[in-house]
Structure 1
Amino acid sequence: MTTTVPAPGTRTAEGAALQAVLLDMDGTLVDTEGFWWDVEVEVFAGLGHVLDDSWRHVVVGGPMTRSAGFLIEATGADITLPELSVLLNDGFEDRIGRHLPLMPGAARLLAELAVHEIPTALVSASHRRIIDRVLTSLGPQHFTFTVAGDEVPRTKPHPDPYLLATTRLGVDPVRCAVVEDTATGVAAAEAAGCHVVAVPSVAPIAPAHRRTVVSSLEQVDVTFLRSLMTEMH
């Protein structure tokens, strides 16, 4: 009996297909990276501390445990990590409850992915309570699966959340495109083996092998994402 399974490394039209698109949330789909910093500044002001603006690049894009832990250490604030996490999440929820701007091109891209029936996952370092609030604006129907930062033992920059998403979707990370806005998220996606589309929000990101940098989601569509799968080596 013959088999139609290609040998490893064989290039076929099916094998080169885009299997899934995995998207970051803050700063990628919703214009909220600035919200987090504003909340951090406000919370620490209430604790009697002024945050140095240069720290913004240190805390952007990572898990709350890392960013909050860094700010506690940097300021010497008398607060525990769990206490600070509650204050930050409360402040962020309050802000997105009042106003949640989508990034240019985000709604159009999600709608296009749905029309083409491409499996799509939301992979964020934000906590589940925040993701569920944001999903009411993004539309939960646009995502086959969502991953929150407090649902994995190690979140970004580790590959775990992206590997969890690809496992749940039953896809090969190499055949997935990830859209991210920070170096932390890019590192996580690349460690998982995905091709990354970087749309820098706060700090510059340089192009690299299997990493394409664009200035806006408005430059990203299904044709563009599918074309990335030809860059296998």
Structure 2
Amino acid sequence: MDGTLVDTEPYWMRAEHELVESFGGVWTHSDAMLLVGSGLLGSAAILQNRGVNLSAEAIVDVLTTRVQEQLASAGIPWRPGAHELLSDLHGAGVPMALVTMSEQRMARQIAGIVGFDAFTTIVSGDMVQQSKPHPEAYLTAAAVLGVDAAHCVAIEDSIPGVASAVASGAVVIGVPHMVPLEHSEHYTLWETLAGSSVTSVTALYRSRRSTLLSGTTYIEDATPA
């Protein structure tokens, strides 16, 4: 969700800065980048090390509330092509799950503003025992959808997110945003979701599955066409 569908990372960074500053600490852009794609409880531990004298659960609550306030006032900043791809997949009847390490209340806020019932299920950070890069969230989503994760396509923007999706066995598309993603045979890099469609996602899935079954190496970095 964050950084893949919607560009909420600046909202999170602002909330983190405000929280650390309220305890007399200093929070830099480099500090904020350490948290991109990570589970909220793990991020809370880093904030505690920067002087935030609150429990991890309280930190998560404060940050989530502040980001939700910004979403309510400034709106949903969609990433290029994300809403269009959701619409195309929904129109084609493709079941979708929203897999995020944000809290369920925030995920439901964003899902409710999509404009249509895009997601069959939501798997959020407060619903799993293991945060990304552990594959639990993606495996849980696949189970709810009633399919093997190997027959799913996961779209991610962060290093922990990509690692989680790859570990689940899904076909993975990495769309870098705040943090660069390395080239790898384990996933495909797209520069953007702009121009993507059910056709391009399906073509990639078929190509990756065919390659995996044949046991050959696959490295492709491209913009969807």
Identify whether the pair has TM-score above 0.5, normalized to the shorter chain: yes
User: Aligned partners of 1:79 and 1:225: how far apart in 2?
Assistant: 43
1:231 corresponds to 2:211: no
| Mapped contact 2:15–2:67 kept (Cα < 8 A) | yes
Partner of 2:53: 78
Of 87, 98, 101, 2:73 maps to: 98
User: Aligned partners of 2:204 and 2:149: how far apart in 1?
Assistant: 13
Partner of 2:9: 33
- The correspondence of residues 133-172 of structure 1 with structure 2, limited to 5 A, is 133-139=109-115, 141-172=117-148
| Mapped contact 1:210–1:231 kept (Cα < 8 A) | no
Aligned-pair CA distance for 1:109: 0.6
TM-score normalised over the length of structure 1: 0.85
Deviations 1:183-207 (A, max 9, x none): 0100100010011111111110022
| Mapped contact 2:39–2:125 kept (Cα < 8 A) | yes
| Mapped contact 2:111–2:118 kept (Cα < 8 A) | no
What letter corresponds to residue 34 of structure 1 in structure 2? P
Partner of 2:165: 189
**Matched residue of 2:132: which SS?**
coil
What letter corresponds to residue 128 of structure 1 in structure 2? Q
Partner of 2:188: 212
TM-score normalised over the length of structure 2: 0.88
| Mapped contact 2:16–2:32 kept (Cα < 8 A) | no
Aligned-pair CA distance for 1:181: 0.8
Partner of 2:90: 114
Deviations 1:87-114 (A, max 9, x none): 1112111111112211111121111001
What letter corresponds to residue 170 of structure 1 in structure 2? G
Aligned-pair CA distance for 1:53: 2.0
Say how many residue pairs are matched.
208
Aligned-pair CA distance for 1:57: 2.2
In the alignment, structure 2 segments of 5+ residues that lack a partner are 213-225
What letter corresponds to residue 139 of structure 2 in structure 1? L
User: Aligned partners of 2:69 and 2:8: how far apart in 1?
Assistant: 12
**Matched residue of 1:54: which SS?**
helix
User: Aligned partners of 1:196 and 1:33: how far apart in 2?
Assistant: 21
Structure 1 vs Structure 2: percent identity of aligned residues?
34
| Mapped contact 1:27–1:33 kept (Cα < 8 A) | yes
Structure number, greater radius of gyration: 1
Partner of 1:66: 42
What letter corresponds to residue 29 of structure 1 in structure 2? L
**Matched residue of 1:141: which SS?**
coil
Aligned-pair CA distance for 1:63: 0.9
Larger deviation, residues 183-192 vs 81-90: 81-90
Aligned-pair CA distance for 1:140: 5.7
User: Aligned partners of 1:87 and 1:30: how far apart in 2?
Assistant: 20
| Mapped contact 1:61–1:183 kept (Cα < 8 A) | yes
In the alignment, structure 1 segments of 5+ residues that lack a partner are 1-24
